[in-house]
């Protein structure tokens, strides 16, 4: 199991885009397919909404990986989120 930390730069990120940003999917379409196949859990519950809004404090599990989503930082760029790998 690998742990990831994703830092938001907006209020939320869509689930399929989060999977792409942390490298679990090569594209948003592949992220949507993972959700449709039942491979994704949010806060321990199965999630079938491909564009579910993932907010700070939530945890996403996919293919044996755990993604912890953290909130906005005062000096964060508003353009894109940051994937921060955690050992």
Q: Domain residues of the chain, as ranges?
A: 2-86
pLDDT for residue 84: 56
pLDDT for residue 80: 52
pLDDT for residue 22: 95
For residue 27, what are the β-bridge partners?
A: none
Determine contact, residues 66/59, Cβ cutoff 8 Å. yes
From first to last of its 87 residues, the chain has per-residue pLDDT tens of: 799 999 999 999 999 999 999 999 999 999 999 999 999 999 999 999 999 999 999 999 999 999 999 997 666 555 455 565 554
Q: Widest CA span of the chain, in angstroms?
A: 37
pLDDT for residue 48: 97
Q: What is the 3-state secondary structure (H, E, C) of 57-83?
A: CCEEEECCEEEEEECCCCCCCCCCCEE
Pick 2-86's CATH classification: 3.30.450.20, 3.40.630.30, 3.10.290.10, 3.30.230.80: 3.10.290.10
């Amino acid at each position: 199991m690998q742990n990831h930390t994703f830092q938001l730069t907006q209020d939320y990120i869509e689930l399929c885009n989060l999977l792409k940003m942390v490298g679990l999917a090569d594209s948003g379409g592949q992220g949507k397919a993972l959700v449709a196949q039942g491979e994704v859990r949010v806060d321990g519950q199965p999630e079938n909404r491909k564009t579910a809004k993932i907010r700070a404090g939530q945890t996403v599990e996919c293919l044996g990986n755990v993604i912890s989503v953290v909130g906005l930082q005062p000096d964060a760029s508003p353009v894109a989120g940051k994937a921060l790998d955690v050992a």
